[in-house]
Structure 1
Amino acid sequence: MNRSPFSSIDSLKLTFNHIKIWYTSGMGFFTDAYDLFIIGAIIDIFEAYKLPGFQLNSFYEGILASSAIITAVLGQIVFGILGDKIGRKKVYGVEASLLSAGAFLSAFSPNLLWLIIFRMIMGVGIGGDYPISATIMSEYANVKDRGKLIALVFANQGIGTLVAVAVGAISAYTLPPDIAWRVMAGIGAIPAATVIYLRRKVPETPRYAALVKGDLKEAEKSASFLGAKLNLSKIEVRKMSFSDFLSKYWKLLIGTAGTWLILDMAYYGTGVYSGPIVSSILGKPSSVGQEIVFAGIPFMVGFFGYFTAVALMDKLGRKVIQTQGFIMMALIYVVVSSIMIVTNNKVAGFLISSSEALAIYAMSFFFIDFGPNTTTFVIPAEVYPTSYRTTGHGISAAAGKVGAAISTYLFPTLLATIGLKELLVMLSLLSILGAAITIVFIKEPKMKSLEEITEELKGEKEEVKA
């Protein structure tokens, strides 16, 4: 019978071990989102209290905010390459160890320089988590639930954000500022630390074992982890050079890397500096604690976007969700900027009430998460061949973090020079470009096996024993 040698995995019903892999994979993204929000809260404390050794100017604020993001690029590229060269299993858990160590050490930083260094270590771990966790979930998932499961891994960001809002607000209200920021930084180490051991125990994926290593016994043993039986007789391991990979998949790389670059320019800029943006809409907060709560409002709205994406990922498809998300982001940015009254590049008011203006603006976070923030993570885990899957995902994620670093570093300067109104117009144009790239360069992987999507077994007759 000529069918995919992995059809027994593809046709499985959802099992407990699928959920176990989801939890094991997802905790790194909890910390990623926790960090995205909490560094803004930490910056708020540094600016409000001028703590010795942690005084900020616009240069150091940009460096501190973007330090973990910059090194995440390195982690995504390095771990992406290693995941394909030596295997997913051999590196899985290393990135979580770096992430946890960096977050923990950040809490004990004696000054700003050491805080930046420790956050850079954490950033390497965060970056490494993207290609490895996404690919492991993708290669173990069944076809029917694959989009949902990969999206659920990423949806841990939503939970991490809500926890960050709570930890940030409670710490700011109840603790002295020199202790509060350290508590905020250190708690980010806990979730990733809980899965280091579990990650070291996850078997190599059956697809990597069979299609890259050519070890059919290991593939069959790995499949038994899910209760599946492959019973493979023979699979030809096809070698593909990196130039061959680029030649065949360059259009897809433009699609996955280009859209992630654009998405993160919008998401990280508005995310890290959510406090100043929301405060410019609602008015100056009465305390740092209130500013942290203000900053969390868009993230709370975005939380529901993650799980809307999870629910509809395998129904609507990745391409539809990503395109509509970009279009709605563009529309919301235009609407908010058009109703904004500006004086000397400062928000003086709105043509509607400030609470209504904030409600409209916060919906951009819903469509970011029910849109490209989730799908740019899901799609690269599906559309590249097994031998370059973590590499393709790592390149795409690195492009996103480059966009995030640029945005996070430039946002304070742009807010001060051109103002929020013009910034939103710029983000609207970027979002339109993101929708266009999605339509032209992304192909829909919904309800197809990974081998059908990538055509890496095309023309090969694999015998599957009954």
Structure 2
Amino acid sequence: MRALTPVPLHLREVTVTSIPTSPPTTVESEVTGPFAWFRSMSPQGRRAFKGAFGGYALDSYDFLVLPMAMVAITAYFGLTTAQTGLLTTVTLLSSAVGGIVAGLLIDRIGRVKTLMVTVGTYAVFTVLCGFATSYPMLLGFRTLQGIGFGGEWAAGAILVAEYARPRYRGRVLAWVQSAWAVGWALAVIVGTTLTNNVDPDLAWRVLFWTGALPALLLVYVRRNVEDAPEVTERLARKEARPPLSSIFKGGMARRTICATLLSTGVMGGYYTFATWLPTYLKTERGLTVVGTGGYLFVLITGAFCGYVTAGQLVDRLGRRVTFVIFALLSAGLLISYVNIPQGSNSLLLILGFPLGFSASAIFSGFGSYLAELYPSTVRGTGQSFTYNVGRALGAIFPTAVGFSSAGVGGALIYGAVGYGLALVALLGLPETRGSELT
């Protein structure tokens, strides 16, 4: 029989340490396929993903029921164009306030509790909009709805980011972002159904009342979702929480300013698209397909595909490169749209897909990128502040178009300025792909 040769000590150590000793390592090495980003997450992480996805989809739904009901609301209260526009503007402006408050709560009471507070807030005030008996009352409820709307995204995004593996974080957060397209599609379906089957004076109220749907999500989150273990441990120690000003001190000041400008530019370009492009195409180009079911279907499908595709690029090419790619594509498509020939409805329908794809894909990088820019103690404050203040400032762009001497055609200028601002802001930000969240 062959004698056994003793194994040198250093080889024994290599042999022992090379054996996977924890379930996460084993799972990551075995999971493959297009949905490895989800399957590699722990059971707690998967439940967190479902809660955040549902929260953002319903956030989108509750925000977009207003555009779906706008025509009926305008007729019911006899509103001017400025008054109807103000309903959207106050929502976006109050979202900045809600975002800042929610950011502080995220770092003080936790991600899950803040997610529940924000979802409950936007749901309650969306429902109350349906009971409004006057324009001032509707405006007030919509303002308060914006506070919850502004805080939900950051709470859900951070919650999921802290569960996701670094190599998949971009894809995981891109799928959370894709929930916006799901909520958008749901709002269009429900809004169209009610408009076609219910008296207009009642239909818009019922549409707002369906904003109670998030209550079902709250039950799920309360029973099944919890913060990442390290966050739970930190909160249990009841350490002193850094103030809002801390994200403007030391090395974080530059990140906060540049990240806010990045959000402002992307939001400004997008809102210019969404607000003025349909008007321009109808009034200046005589295109009747804008706003039809077929056009919205193409646009929403493009948006969903853009979100999930960009998630792949965010992880493979990096956060900054992906922002650059889609900022340039979105600006290029804006130029293409403004120059569509008179009456070319078929061409507009075809371009709807790449428009929805690029204009939405650029948002996929925010969830992972902003989370990676800040340490755990101020992650909620930093991420929510930069995203929501950028959203509020971005709302100024379409307003500026309305006051511009260039008229509706000024959308091209302001849209280009928005995406250009985003590119400049990236110069002051680092690449964070593969970062561990600390």
The letter of the residue matching 2:316 is K
Shift, 1:193, TM fit: 1.8
Whole-angstrom distance in 2 between the partners of 1:66 and 1:179: 24
Whole-angstrom distance in 2 between the partners of 1:46 and 1:265: 26
1:182 paired residue number: 205
2:268 corresponds, among 257, 265, 268, to: 265
**Cα 1:444/1:78, change in 2 over 3 Å:** same
38-47 vs 100-109, which moves further:
38-47
90-99 vs 271-280, which moves further:
271-280
1:457 paired residue number: none
> Contact 2:161/2:371 (CA < 8 Å) preserved in 1?
yes
Mapping of residues 379-458 of structure 1, within 5 Å: 379-407=369-397, 409-410=399-400, 413-414=402-403, 418-438=406-426, 440-451=427-438
The letter of the residue matching 1:423 is A
The letter of the residue matching 2:99 is Q
1:23 corresponds, among 50, 59, 65, to: 50
TM-score, scaled relative to structure 1: 0.77
> Unpaired runs of 5+ in structure 2?
1-21, 29-39
1:195 paired residue number: 217
The letter of the residue matching 1:96 is V
Whole-angstrom distance in 1 between the partners of 2:172 and 2:407: 40
**Cα 1:408/1:432, change in 2 over 3 Å:** closer
2:37 paired residue number: none
Mapping of residues 252-331 of structure 1, within 5 Å: 252-272=255-275, 275-280=278-283, 283=286, 291=292, 294=295, 297-331=298-332
78-87 vs 156-165, which moves further:
78-87
111-120 vs 74-83, which moves further:
111-120
Query: CA-atom RMSD, angstroms?
Result: 3.1
**Cα 1:88/1:249, change in 2 over 3 Å:** same
Mapping of residues 41-80 of structure 1, within 5 Å: 41-47=68-74, 50-51=75-76, 54-80=77-103
Whole-angstrom distance in 1 between the partners of 2:230 and 2:172: 17
Name the SS for the 2:162 alignment partner.
helix
**Cα 1:358/1:437, change in 2 over 3 Å:** farther
Shift, 1:252, TM fit: 1.6
> Contact 1:282/1:358 (CA < 8 Å) preserved in 2?
no
Shift, 1:34, TM fit: 2.4
Q: Percent identity?
A: 22
The one-character-per-residue Cα deviations of 1:117-137 (angstroms, maximum 9, x if unpaired) are 222222111112122111111
TM-score, scaled relative to structure 2: 0.82
Shift, 1:177, TM fit: 1.2
Shift, 1:285, TM fit: 5.1
Whole-angstrom distance in 1 between the partners of 2:64 and 2:403: 20
The letter of the residue matching 1:334 is I
**Cα 1:273/1:331, change in 2 over 3 Å:** closer
2:127 paired residue number: 104
Whole-angstrom distance in 2 between the partners of 1:61 and 1:423: 20
The letter of the residue matching 1:318 is R
**Cα 1:291/1:419, change in 2 over 3 Å:** farther
1:365 equivalenced with 2:366 (yes/no): no
Mapping of residues 215-226 of structure 1, within 5 Å: none
Shift, 1:409, TM fit: 4.6
Name the SS for the 1:24 alignment partner.
helix
Whole-angstrom distance in 2 between the partners of 1:274 and 1:178: 28
The one-character-per-residue Cα deviations of 1:89-112 (angstroms, maximum 9, x if unpaired) are 443311111111011111222222
Shift, 1:334, TM fit: 2.2
1:223 paired residue number: none
Shift, 1:188, TM fit: 3.2
**Cα 1:58/1:241, change in 2 over 3 Å:** closer
> Contact 1:281/1:354 (CA < 8 Å) preserved in 2?
no
- Of structures 1 and 2, the larger Rg is shown by 2
> Contact 1:162/1:299 (CA < 8 Å) preserved in 2?
yes
The one-character-per-residue Cα deviations of 1:230-260 (angstroms, maximum 9, x if unpaired) are xxxxxxx898676554221122213321111
> Contact 1:336/1:361 (CA < 8 Å) preserved in 2?
no
> Contact 1:68/1:122 (CA < 8 Å) preserved in 2?
yes
**Cα 1:93/1:238, change in 2 over 3 Å:** closer
> Unpaired runs of 5+ in structure 1?
1-6, 216-236, 342-348, 452-466
The one-character-per-residue Cα deviations of 1:344-381 (angstroms, maximum 9, x if unpaired) are xxxxx27xx3431453365233112222x222233112
Name the SS for the 2:178 alignment partner.
helix
Whole-angstrom distance in 1 between the partners of 2:63 and 2:242: 37
Whole-angstrom distance in 1 between the partners of 2:251 and 2:234: 18
1:155 paired residue number: 178
**Cα 1:193/1:212, change in 2 over 3 Å:** closer
* Count of residues in correspondence between the two structures: 404
Name the SS for the 1:168 alignment partner.
helix
2:251 paired residue number: 248
Whole-angstrom distance in 2 between the partners of 1:250 and 1:442: 11
The one-character-per-residue Cα deviations of 1:22-41 (angstroms, maximum 9, x if unpaired) are 11112232133224443222
2:232 paired residue number: 209
Shift, 1:88, TM fit: 2.7
1:222 paired residue number: none
**Cα 1:254/1:364, change in 2 over 3 Å:** farther
Shift, 1:319, TM fit: 1.7
